Copies of this chain bind each other. A is one copy, B any other.
């Protein structure tokens, strides 16, 4: 059995690796399996991809395109926080639909080495959170919010993948998701406003202004002024609130 379309060997290697990975059930996939299924010998693999990790990176890159497509393909609802919610669900669905690929993407953790894909996913979420920040719905700087939400999102997805399929309880995901979104949303700040000096609304406004200024370069301030202004904004918006 081999993948003998008229595709070039490089594409056959990619396809073979993806297929074997998807059916590996979590156990390792050897280069010999891949090259045999692709109908190719070892040096071809290393010629095109450098090493095994390079090949898997390429598979992951293709998988990430699917991931991004899923994260973007729904129409923005006009309610950024609702979009974040769907982003979370889409992330979990992606992980459960292709667990092995997901594990290569997000489960292959090593100390002090951050996979590029995590940064990409984080940027994607930060981008979405920026919209929420601009409309004053965020309690926390988008960057920190994105990191925090993504960390919880990955944690939940990994936990679900580790469970046996019939026992996977998506309530775990929904509950954690809502907890995280509520925590970064400005709703919470409002509910706490009674016993507060009102500083939290300062923070929310500062975060919104910060996001908006960076999105559309204002010509009201010179570049040097803007730089200093943004630095102060950052100090305000990262100050503790609550």
Contacts and interface: CB of A to CB of B under 8 A. Distances in A.
A122 to B, nearest CB: 9
Contacts of A239: 218, 220
Interface in A116-144: 118, 134-137, 140, 144
Contact of A199 (B103, B135, B229): B135
Copies of chain A in the complex = 2
Contacts of A201: 134, 208, 212
Main secondary structure of the interface of A (DSSP, over half): helix
29 contacts: A26-B111, A26-B112, A100-B111, A109-B158, A111-B162, A134-B200, A137-B198, A144-B169, A144-B175, A147-B172, A148-B175, A148-B176, A152-B152, A152-B156, A152-B176, A154-B158, A158-B158, A176-B183, A180-B180, A198-B212, A201-B208, A202-B212, A202-B216, A208-B208, A209-B209, A216-B242, A218-B241, A220-B232, A220-B239
Contacts of A6: none
A113 B241 contact: no
Interface stretch (A34-42, A52-60, A187-195): A187-195
Interface residues of A, number: 85
Nearest to A206: B209
